[in-house]
Structure 1
């Protein structure tokens, strides 16, 4: 089967393979290819520019006809169905909070048996609650912990799921925002959490500065650990209320990220205050199917008018389904 791959001289193959493993983009569903001179390392997705930069200089993108790996039984084979779960680092988070104990144990056993990368299986006991956006969990099987290190686009995020909110389901969205940022820009991440937006942007070395704010002291603790873990310098971690911090950085931001989808509308006045003329706000919301964008655009426009400014809507999109008839949306608005 034809796949995109990294073509690399054999003597450099192992170092390239390790880079792809670190970025989690080596496709293990097929066998690594070779000829007399080169290795062909299959990719699970197209690498980002900073990921390609970490490969040996001899590496190049190519295509190759790969042979499939021998298929091993999956957890779906053992269970007879595919359970819904989210993988964060080496923790599998079962997504159905109403699972009874017996079924949860059965799922956990199948996951631990078939996926060596999973060390712990948990299920949520509460939805995301409180101003710090956290959940309570029950460890179903495996190691008794809720702390892990999650890898994404070559970045590492240490997080305790019971102390700070994190989801890998916005990884594509984070990559999309990265593509919008230009060299020398200033970014303000109003609700940074443990840093998945801020650190990816800072590590790309595009922005001159990333200001990462969060009110949750535990989230900021992990944010600071992750800044060190990823060796990024152009980022400032701030524990504080985004409304108050906006006064300090008024008019400085080329990009303002508002990833607080249940209540971001309450902070729009501060987001407009942060944004320099021509800067862009990335507004995330949870909206009903019958009103995906209209009300949210109205909130953004009203906040701009309150400051004597106008907006230009650059893009409106559905990020993911959140609940029946409810969606996580993003609106990109330029503030003039």
Structure 2
């Protein structure tokens, strides 16, 4: 008997609060209808976005029924589709923001203000999360309960979850007087402002077109590497980006045409201001640059930090391809002695400016505007000669305080071709000081699976090591470490190879196994820096 009484009580509570018998709904009901007598409401509206309300007698969380749908896969797809921009914008090439206007239907419950916090906490993951809308909205001012109640919007895309609310949430809804006699369907007006950049682009671009939502930001500039099939949409892409991404004022597309001398790209303006002078923030440093004249890669911030974070006053750094200073400026701020160089006069100008902009000690850094090979054969040679000549001790060179010497070569398409410049670089040093740590070269390179497959069974690490050995000689595979930096393209990587510049290499003496002959490498000159670059590699690198 007790068991039967408990069963009846539970069944009655379930019917009264959660899923009572569904009743036929009416739109804009009259006040005298007994189903709606307790509400005394007429077509309540949210002043900004709610255009129409349908009220249902009884609190029924079967949202499929409330929306007039049967619980099926097609019904679910229909609900999800209404939270995407209208299909009519597909293929648009000239931006018409009015075409994005639409109306979506969402379920809502009315909650007393005093219970709002507790109810919304319980229903947080079921609430409507939509750009430009709050899940809690006001009742219409004409509603008699305007001051004491608010409406909480539910997400119809979570219908299945709404129909399976946990018991504890059901109990809260029952206990907090949530007006459990009705559930409402609210019409919300959607517009262009309610969709983000990715959603707008996915709606506009043809289905067979590659995703164009990926871009990089440098200060106020956003830049794309658009493929051919996206080019007809380049101007609308730029215009939408200006609307959707705060702080972006200029949008450009980088072309495949490369300045072979300075390794910079031509670009076209897609939208916004024709202003390419900007500032980039990286690891707490500020870099000013003209994006149309110098090379800058915002994806290398982690690498810049990794290579400079442990430098101290006892380190010496030779930055052969310094650019605007992403390695040199942090190294100088950490009190290392830095020799920075770049062939591009605009990069050199920015480098000097960024040293001042970041309040670096100018006495610790020397800047040069030379070709990389010339920089190695003059500045690097002079400094290393003074350091490794035994008995040398001047105010400028205190060998006892040197804990490490690093040579950074960040020109991935060509840097390895400059390595032979170190062969015999210190051949004029008679008494080589072995107490000073040998320089460590860090050379950045591109490698791809196709090249590695020709000789090295697809092992890109091995291919890269042997490419370095072929140029500089005097090394074995185990003398070189290789490290992955980042993906450049499918099956193409940017990597860093590191190795010691041994005494045999620097002084031009043969190794024990006679693995290289200095004269051979001195006469077999690598390609000049201004040779044609690998266009595909550099486009993806930037």
* TM superposition score normalised by structure 2: 0.45
| Aligned match of 1:328 | 494
For structure 2, which runs of at least 5 residues remain unmatched after alignment? 1-123, 133-194, 203-210, 388-403, 427-435, 450-457, 503-542
SS in 1 for 2:443: strand
| Aligned match of 1:230 | 358
Aligned residues of 2:238 and 2:270 also touching (Cα < 8 A): yes
Tell me whether 1:265 sits opposite 2:396 in the alignment.
no
Aligned residues of 1:178 and 1:200 also touching (Cα < 8 A): yes
How far apart, in 1, do the equivalents of 2:313 and 2:477 lie? 23
| Aligned match of 1:83 | 213
* TM superposition score normalised by structure 1: 0.70
Alignment coverage as a number of residue pairs: 264
Aligned residues of 1:90 and 1:117 also touching (Cα < 8 A): yes
Shift of 1:298: 2.5
Query: Alpha carbon RMSD of aligned pairs, Å?
Result: 2.7
Shift of 1:259: 0.6
Tell me whether 1:169 sits opposite 2:335 in the alignment.
no
Aligned residues of 1:312 and 1:333 also touching (Cα < 8 A): no
Q: Which has the higher strand share?
A: 1
For structure 1, which runs of at least 5 residues remain unmatched after alignment? 1-66
The equivalences for 1:247-266 within 5 A come to 247=377, 248-250=379-381, 251=384, 254-266=405-417
Tell me whether 1:279 sits opposite 2:439 in the alignment.
yes
| Cα gap change, 1:76 to 1:100, in 2 (>3 Å) | closer
How far apart, in 2, do the equivalents of 1:302 and 1:182 lie? 33
Shift of 1:277: 4.2
| Aligned match of 1:241 | 371
Question: Where has structure 1 moved over 6 Å in runs of 4 or more?
Answer: 309-312
Shift of 1:132: 0.7
| Cα gap change, 1:329 to 1:201, in 2 (>3 Å) | same
| Aligned match of 1:187 | 317
The equivalences for 1:97-176 within 5 A come to 97-98=227-228, 100-176=230-306
Q: Which has the higher helix share?
A: 2
Shift of 1:86: 1.2
How far apart, in 1, do the equivalents of 2:130 and 2:317 lie? 46
| Cα gap change, 1:311 to 1:279, in 2 (>3 Å) | farther
Aligned residues of 2:320 and 2:372 also touching (Cα < 8 A): yes
| Cα gap change, 1:271 to 1:214, in 2 (>3 Å) | farther
Shift of 1:128: 3.8
SS in 1 for 2:265: coil
How far apart, in 2, do the equivalents of 1:194 and 1:122 lie? 21
Shift of 1:311: 8.6
